[in-house]
């Protein structure tokens, strides 16, 4: 069942079109990823959905409520984790969570109970009485997420949840996102980390220059990504001239030499490995490892943004 429906959404800042006529929907209980380079229109879209910005045109329906007209009704059922850790530095973790709960009208006993639960869930109990400004980046991010769910929202908006934090904290946050999904929350996540989107999202929309260029489940996107098969061989020996000789000998193969110890083979058909290994062996090149390279979302992104995105813009999506 659809819980979010966005139709023909546009946002203009003066002459600049930040969001250009996008439409998408999110199912209840789904983790929906919004993937694109910096400046693609991700935050502009999220801000319109949560009521921090007014659309130039278009419609946003969240849980049956018109999010453009009844912003405050929508804000009651959503939780927002912005890209900046915007809690209060002077207040400790516990006070911050209690304050955020109070903004939703929760009574003292209820909000203190909830704050304690969340500190425990996010492994921050020991840091609960420390001022927020003394937290590490990862801890700040976790507390900001905790603050976003303190009122137990139906839908959670996460803007760049793991940007700028260490690998371990990022891993913990991805686990938390999956735990929240298991609890039945609908999650809208914007990110420019392709790998993160692949790990946590059920469906993904690629946004470039304010337009959605592709949308689908991770599986659908991957299936359509790369036609053919890719093999990577780890080798030892001189690879001078090997590319041309291999392509001449095995005419269905496309060969790349990415470095001195690797050969990348692409073919429309499945590749029989032993003739290639024997051929290389005869040339004095030993094969130590061979593996199929499966397409990633990065391949999908490169393929679909081929015409609409510059190389540097693509590189901003890691």
Partner 1 sequence: METAIAFWNILKKDIHNYYLKPPNISWGIIFPLSWTLMQLIRSPDMEIIELLPGLMAMSVLFGTTSMLAVTITFEKRAQSFDRLLLAPISLSTLVFAKLSGAIIFGMVNAFVPVAFARFFADLRGTNWPIAIIAVLLIAVTSALLGLLIAVSAKEVFEAQTFSNFFRFPMLFLCGLFVPIENLPSFVKPISFCLPLTYGTDALNRAIRGSSVFDPLFNVFIMVVFGALLFYLCQRNIKKNWIL
Contact footprint for partner 1 (CB under 8 A)? 13, 47, 50-54, 72-73, 75-76, 80, 82, 84, 86-91, 99-100, 102-107, 147
Q: How far is the CB of 1 from partner 1 (least distance, A)?
A: 23
Q: Which is nearer to partner 1, 55 or 138 (CB)?
A: 55
Q: How far is the CB of 98 from partner 1 (least distance, A)?
A: 8
Which residue, 76 or 232, is less far from partner 1 as judged by CB? 76
Label residue 287 exposed, middle or buried (CB < 10 Å: 0-12, 13-18, 19+). Answer: middle
**Helix (H) or strand (E) run with residue 147 in it:** helix 137-148
Is the Cβ of residue 89 or residue 275 nearer to partner 1 in the bound state? Answer: 89
- Which lies closer to partner 1 via its Cβ, residue 66 or residue 238? 66
**Shorter beta-carbon distance to partner 1: residue 104 or 250:** 104
Q: Are 258 and 266 in contact (CB under 8 A)?
A: no
Output 50 or 197, the one with its CB closest to partner 1. Answer: 50
Residue 13 beta carbon to partner 1: minimum distance, rounded to whole angstroms: 8
Question: Could you tell me the two tokens for 31?
Answer: 């983790």
Contact 115, 107 (CB under 8 A): no
What is the nearest approach in angstroms of partner 1 to the Cβ of residue 103?
Answer: 4
Q: Give the nearest distance from C-beta 21 to partner 1 in angstroms.
A: 19
Supply the minimum distance, in Å, between the C-beta of residue 304 and partner 1.
Answer: 30
CA-CA distance, 304 to 299, in Å (whole number)?
9
**What kind and span of H or E run contains 311?**
helix 311-315
Q: Give the pair of three-digit tokens for residue 57.
A: 């045109």
Q: Phi-psi category of 198—alpha, beta or left, where left has phi over 0 and alpha has psi -120 to 50?
A: alpha
- Own/partner contacts of 178-181, CB < 8 Å, gap of 24 or more, are 178/31, 180/149, 180/156, 181/29, 181/31
205 CA to centre of own chain: 10
3-state SS, residue 234:
strand
Minimum CB–partner distance for residue 71 and partner 1 (Å): 8
Indicate the residue among 105 and 291 with the shorter CB distance to partner 1.
Answer: 105
């Amino acid at each position: 069942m659809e819980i979010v429906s966005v139709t023909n959404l546009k946002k203009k800042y003066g002459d600049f079109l930040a969001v250009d006529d996008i439409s998408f929907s999110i199912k209840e209980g789904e983790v929906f990823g919004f993937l694109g380079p910096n400046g693609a229109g991700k935050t502009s879209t999220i801000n319109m959905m949560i009521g921090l910005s007014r659309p130039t045109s278009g419609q946003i329906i969240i849980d049956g409520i018109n999010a453009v007209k009844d912003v405050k009704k929508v804000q009651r059922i959503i939780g927002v984790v912005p890209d900046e850790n915007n809690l209060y530095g002077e207040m400790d973790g516990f006070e911050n969570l209690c304050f955020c709960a109070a903004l939703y009208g929760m009574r003292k006993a209820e909000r203190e109970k909830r704050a304690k639960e969340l500190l425990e869930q996010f492994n921050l109990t020991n840091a609960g009485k420390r001022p927020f400004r003394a937290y590490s980046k990862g801890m700040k991010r976790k507390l900001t997420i905790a603050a976003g769910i303190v009122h137990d929202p139906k839908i959670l908006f996460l803007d760049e949840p793991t940007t700028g934090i260490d690998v371990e904290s990022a891993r913990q946050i991805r686990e938390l996102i999956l735990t929240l999904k298991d609890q039945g929350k609908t999650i809208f996540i914007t990110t420019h980390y392709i790998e993160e989107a692949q790990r946590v999202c059920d469906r993904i929309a690629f946004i470039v220059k304010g337009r959605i260029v592709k949308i689908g489940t991770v599986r659908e996107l991957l299936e359509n990504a790369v036609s053919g098969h890719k093999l990577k061989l780890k080798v030892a020996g001189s690879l001078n001239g090997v590319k041309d000789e291999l392509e001449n000998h095995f005419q269905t193969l496309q060969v790349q030499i990415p470095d001195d110890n690797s050969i990348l083979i692409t073919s429309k058909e499945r590749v029989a490995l032993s003739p290639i290994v024997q051929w290389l062996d005869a040339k004095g090149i030993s094969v130590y490892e061979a593996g199929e390279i499966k397409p990633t979302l990065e391949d999908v992104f490169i393929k679909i943004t081929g015409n609409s995105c510059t190389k540097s813009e693509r590189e901003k999506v890691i």
